[in-house]
Structures are given as structure tokens and as C-alpha cells.
Amino acid sequence: MMQPERNPDPRNCDCDAHDATRAKLIPFDAALLKGLALAIPISETETLALATATGRVLARPVVARTPLPPFDNSAMDGYAVRIADFDGSPPWHLPVGARIAAGEPAVDDFAPGTAVRVLTGAQVPSGFDAVIMQEKVECRGTGITVLRRPASGENIRRAGEDLEPGGIILKAGRCLGTRAMAALAAVGDGMATVNRKIRVAIFSTGTELREPGEPLGPGQIWNSNRFMLMADLTEPWIELIDFGTVKDDARTLKATLAEAATVADIVVSTGGMSVGDEDHMPRVFQEIGGRIDVMRVAMKPGKPVMVGMLGETIYVGLPGNPVSAFVTWMLIGRKILEKKAGFVDTTNMTSKVMAGFDLSRRPGRCEFRPARVVGLDASGNRIVLLSEPSFSARIASLAAADGLALLPAEKARVSRGDLLEFLPLLN
């Protein structure tokens, strides 16, 4: 069945048909590239004890000074042997000369034909070139019986096999998440040099906004964008400066934007970006000396997103509709922020999903549509259904979505079974 794709709500400011200015839209990819070009990564660094570096952005590559692992060690609980001792045919009987556990130094001089009891992680004595799993031997008094000739190197983790000295274990620009912290610790560094925290100032605009917990008067709504941004900006590499909520009053907006720009590397606001009487932000931004680099993007939702520079500070003006604010933030604003903070890889990990619907639409803007995974087809492809066509204000369907399905700008039809790019939403 075809989903109707007309926009039934003429008050939805994200609708092309009600756009007064009709100025040319710039393609989403071009907008993102222009925005990213403004983000010159932070160069100031700080050196932190490892335990406090979690989640920060690595300023320099981390190089292993010693081999990883540092010495030949046993991958199993078993017996270290020398293959040269396995002449002739089985069975072979070997006396056990010593026992070495993890953390104990290896002893090296053993008579020919001797096995050494080793536990996982134990240093393998020099000259021993295989470890036989304990399950594969028979213990006879103080010796073992072996029925199969071991292979060279069997169950030995060689010094440097993971990384040689001088090898780069982490590149600069890597966020010190779970695996990176493990890697950093494994090469023995007690300190990490990271970029200083990036300072992000946020404010919400809208006379209608009240804070959650406050009672609503007529015509008022609760401010959700502020909490969306605060949640997304709660990161160890960010210092968040919250300027709260500002009424649609040009003077106050101007003062807030100017002050925010003096304290932050990036200022992010929501609302007031469009062409209505109370949409003051583009004008206010320019009146205090802002230079607009990106405006009017061919995307849905989020056409009125704006990016520019106010002195050294990047300004990202997001539309007020909550889904538009979220999508433009995630796909443009956050990418600019990550690059400025020093992240090297800011690409989104998308996957393919299968359309579980037919749809026709007006081409021109690429669409990022909240979508839910509703099942799997016979080959294991995830099948998605989209949220309703007029979705830019629908927070409940955004909250329920599993991800954003991408409908490319030029695509006028999607048929059931088509593969679509899909950006999973984890938070």
C-alpha cells in the first residue's frame, strides 16, 4: 500500500510549499562539508593520569615502547616442550622439570627431553617452542605422556606478535573509549596527552517555552530541545555552558548570542531560524558580526539549519521543531563539534535496511526519517517502517524510532523491498 506523502499540516514550517523566500537550497553533503571546513581542531592539550583520561580525545599517537606482549608466554595451561625432543614415534614420555605460573620468572636451563609445566600467561623458557594443552597429555607420576607431535609455536604467544616496539597502537584523534583505554594501559603508559575540553554554549529560543516541572500557561510547551542537547553534550571531552531559555526578543537574543560566543568554541541554539516574524536568529547573528556559511539546506527535516562564524567561534543555529533540531544536530552540528574537538573519524556507521512500504515523494531534499525495525526477511535483512510524513515535531515517534532511514534527495519512489541506508539511533 502506498503511504500518502502530502504534508497535511500547513503550519509545519518545514514544508517547501509554505516557504516564503524560495532561495536556493544547498545539498546536504555540501552543507556538511562547508560546516566541517569551519572546524579547525583544538590545538591546546593537557596531560592526564590514565584513570582520569577516559572519554577524552587523544592529542598524539600512542606508540608501544616495548613489544606487545612483552615476552613469549603460554596461551594455555599445559606443558612447554621442545619439538626436537619428539623423535621417532609416539608415545613420548617426558619428565616435568619445573612449574612456571603467570608472573613468575622463567628458569632456562633444562636437560634435553624435559617438559615444563606452564600456566596461562606464564613466560615460556627460552628454547621451548610449543605448549601442549594439559587436556592433551597424560600425567604419569612426575612426568607426562604425549601421543601427538606438537606443531612449532603451538599455543605460544610470541613477544611482539600483537605489536612491535615503535608500532602505533592508537592514532591521534581517537576518543579514549573502552577499547582505547585497554590499549593505552596495555602499552604501559601511566599518562595520556589529550586535547583540552571543547567549550560548547547552548541556549533555547522561544517565548512559548517552559522548563519541565513548571506549569504550562496557555500556548506554552515544555522545552525539550534543551534536554536533548544537554544529554548529547554530556561527554568527558565537552565543557557545557548552558545559557538556558531565551524569549523571542531580538535584544535579549543578541546579548545572549554575543556573550555565548565569547566563552565558547561552539555556540548552539535552537529555534528562531526560519522566516516567521519571531524568527530572529539569522538577523541577530549578522547584526553582531556573524558570517553565515551554511543556510537553507536541502534536507528534511531541518531546512532552516544555519552554520557560521562569529569571530573565532562557530555558531550552529538549529531549527526549533524537536525532530528537526535533533536530526540537524546529529548529522551536521555534532560532526562539526567532533572535528573541532579533534576527532579524526567523524563518519556515521550506517547499515542497509529493507523498506517494508511503498512511498512516492517530491524529490529535491534528502530525508532523514525516523524508522522502526519491524522484523527480518528470509535473508536476515531488517525491515523498517517509517514514521508519518509530517514528523518534524513528533517527539514521541522519534523516541520510539530505532534509527533514521535515509531517502536520497533525487529519489521520488521507494518500493517495498528496496534497500535504504539506515543510521541506527542508540541514545
Site for Mg ion, residues 8 to 37, rule: CB under 5 A:
none
Residue closer to ligand AMP, measured from CB, 270 or 313: 270
How does 163-201 read in b/e, with b if 16+ C-beta sit within 10 Å?
beeeeebbebbbbbeeebbebbeebebeebbbbbbbbbb
224 contacts ligand AMP (rule: CB under 6 A): yes
CB 203, CB 50: distance < 8 Å: no
78 contacts Mg ion (rule: CB under 5 A): no
Site for ligand AMP, residues 279 to 318, rule: CB under 6 A:
279
322 contacts ligand AMP (rule: CB under 6 A): yes
335 phi and psi angles, rounded to 5 deg: -65, -40
Q: How many residues make up the chain in this entry?
A: 427
Q: Figure out which of the listed residues 204, 313, 328, 387 binds ligand AMP, where binding follows CB under 6 A.
A: 204
Cα four-point dihedral sign 66, 68, 70, 71: negative
Q: Figure out which of the listed residues 78, 206, 282, 302 binds ligand AMP, where binding follows CB under 6 A.
A: 206
Applying CB under 6 A, the site for ligand AMP has a residue count of 21
Q: Figure out which of the listed residues 35, 320, 356, 389 binds Mg ion, where binding follows CB under 5 A.
A: 320
Applying CB under 5 A, the site for Mg ion has a residue count of 4
Nearest distance from residue 392's CB to ligand AMP, in Å?
8
Three-class SS of residue 32?
A: helix
Q: How far is CA 12 from CA 5, 6, 119, 304, 395, in A?
A: 14, 12, 68, 12, 14
Residue closer to ligand AMP, measured from CB, 193 or 390: 390
271 contacts Mg ion (rule: CB under 5 A): yes
The candidate with the shortest Cα–Cα distance to 259, out of 306, 208, 313, is 313
Residue closer to Mg ion, measured from CB, 181 or 275: 275
Name, in order, each residue with C-beta under 8 angstroms of 103's C-beta and a sequence gap of 6 or more.
121, 122
208 contacts ligand AMP (rule: CB under 6 A): yes
Nearest distance from residue 283's CB to ligand AMP, in Å?
14
Site for ligand AMP, residues 242 to 271, rule: CB under 6 A:
270-271
13 contacts ligand AMP (rule: CB under 6 A): yes
72 phi and psi angles, rounded to 5 deg: -60, 130
Q: How far is CA 181 from CA 127, 175, 384, in A?
A: 34, 9, 36
**Binding interface with Mg ion (CB under 5 A):** 206, 271-272, 320
